[in-house]
Structure 1
Amino acid sequence: MENLTIALSDVAGPGKKGAPRGRRETRVPEILEAAISVFASAGNDGFTQRGVAAAANIRLATLQHYFGSRDSLLKATIEELAQRYLRRFHELGEDARLTPEARLHAVLDETFNTLASPGNLISPFALECWCLAEHHPEVRELMEEVSEKYQSLFSGLVAQINPDLPAQECRIRGALIYSHWQGLIVFLRRSGRNAPDLTAFRKATGVVWSALGKTTS
């Protein structure tokens, strides 16, 4: 996977005009849902168009109609999961019913609920993406774009909590929270029998995030 480029022909399939709009709007999300599961469970080495087609219960030719190459499918899969959680975090971060600090804690609660759930896919998916990004510049660029969006979200929450902070200070604190969020993905996945009490750990994490948001410079 040396060239992770995507062209319109890759998505629609060579020599095809594309499926009817209604079918595309339902079939593509189904394919991406299956692709997320395959990438999280089988990793990059096990991520194949044939495997995703089987998981989606469709013919390989049908999948290739929408995603003409493995690379285009992989890129769309990574973008889909990243944007899914980004949209959810934005919903929480913009909830006018909550105070700014409560919005940050809502993101924290969503994070712990997701990472601690039995069917958690984001941890293995993210770890696989980070490993892949070490060796493939195109994936690394995509992950940097995703990282920028998440850091901006956390920086924005800090600015809401502490509007008197300079913009640069908000960016630094947002980056600190985001780096801690990334660490949670790894730690809660790999701590095993060394994992602390989850309730106490969640509470302590909230204290740290609140301090980063509220403390004046």
Structure 2
Amino acid sequence: MPQDRAPTRIQKKNRTAILEAALTVFAARGFRGATVDQIAAEAGLSKPNLLYYFPSKEAMHNALLEQLLDTWLDPLRSLDEKGDPQSEIMAYIERKLQISRDYPRESRLFANEIVQGAPRIQDALSRDLKTLVDEKAALLQSWMDQGRIAKVHPYHLVFSIWALTQHYADFEVQVHAILGEEDPYEGAEPFLETLYSRLLAP
């Protein structure tokens, strides 16, 4: 979209609609399976109109991933060194579950990108994500060294939290096939609280 003047209300609305449609299509079909025609149809716009805002599906995918990475990193950023260690870790788990509940399509978009080798966000993973995880792993290790939580591998602790929270979004169809109408998050939160409180008890 031309950047020589501020976008109008209609332009903002169309851009939002395009990204919402792209998220739906990418989450369902992955990057390779998605097409500009599918995204245009989902957005209710013509293909030329869509291409006025985004020149390619790569541009739409990159815009979504840029927005998503901040959402993904925020819960870990909130881990507070001044707080009670177990309470901070439990709050982090709750935040990750909430993201899975509220943003399942975004979670699947991110998972699809990772499964493909992260060709579009490899730099961000190696830079932003690694820096943050290194910092928080050091914090976890310091709590362990102080005897405030049990000693476990700090990186694998983080990985396990990702796996056990993001599963509910990334494998949503499988979860619902097994649980039926039951809300999986109602059982997930107390289960994970029990699991990690026992694991981390000093």
TM-score in same-fold range (> 0.5):
yes
User: Which aligned pairs between 1:58-97 and structure 2 lie closer than 5 A?
Assistant: 58-90=45-77, 92-93=78-79
Unaligned runs of 5+ in 2: none
- How far the C-alpha of 1:89 sits from its partner, in A, is 4.5
User: Which aligned pairs between 1:14-53 and structure 2 lie closer than 5 A?
Assistant: 17-18=2-3, 20-23=5-8, 27-53=14-40
Q: Percent identity?
A: 16
Q: Could you report, residue by residue, the CA deviation over 1:11-37 in whole angstroms, capped at 9, with x for unpaired residues?
A: x4xxxx436424466654443333222
Residue identity opposite 1:50 in structure 2: D
Residue identity opposite 1:18 in structure 2: Q
- How far the C-alpha of 1:153 sits from its partner, in A, is 6.1
Unaligned runs of 5+ in 1: 1-11
User: Which aligned pairs between 1:33-182 and structure 2 lie closer than 5 A?
Assistant: 33-90=20-77, 92-93=78-79, 99=84, 101-115=86-100, 117=101, 120-133=104-117, 137-145=119-127, 147-148=129-130, 151-152=133-134, 154-155=136-137, 158=140, 161=143, 173=154, 175-182=155-162
SS in 2 for 1:21: coil
- How far the C-alpha of 1:207 sits from its partner, in A, is 1.9
Residue identity opposite 1:44 in structure 2: F
SS in 1 for 2:3: coil
> Which residue of the partner structure matches residue 204 of structure 1?
194
Q: Could you report, residue by residue, the CA deviation over 1:28-59 in whole angstroms, capped at 9, with x for unpaired residues?
A: 44433332222112222332223223333333
Q: In 1, distance between residues paired with 2:190 and 2:64?
A: 34
Q: In 1, distance between residues paired with 2:22 and 2:123?
A: 21
Contact 1:38–1:52 (Cα < 8 Å) also in 2: yes
Q: In 2, distance between residues paired with 1:42 and 1:67?
A: 19
Aligned residue-pair number: 186
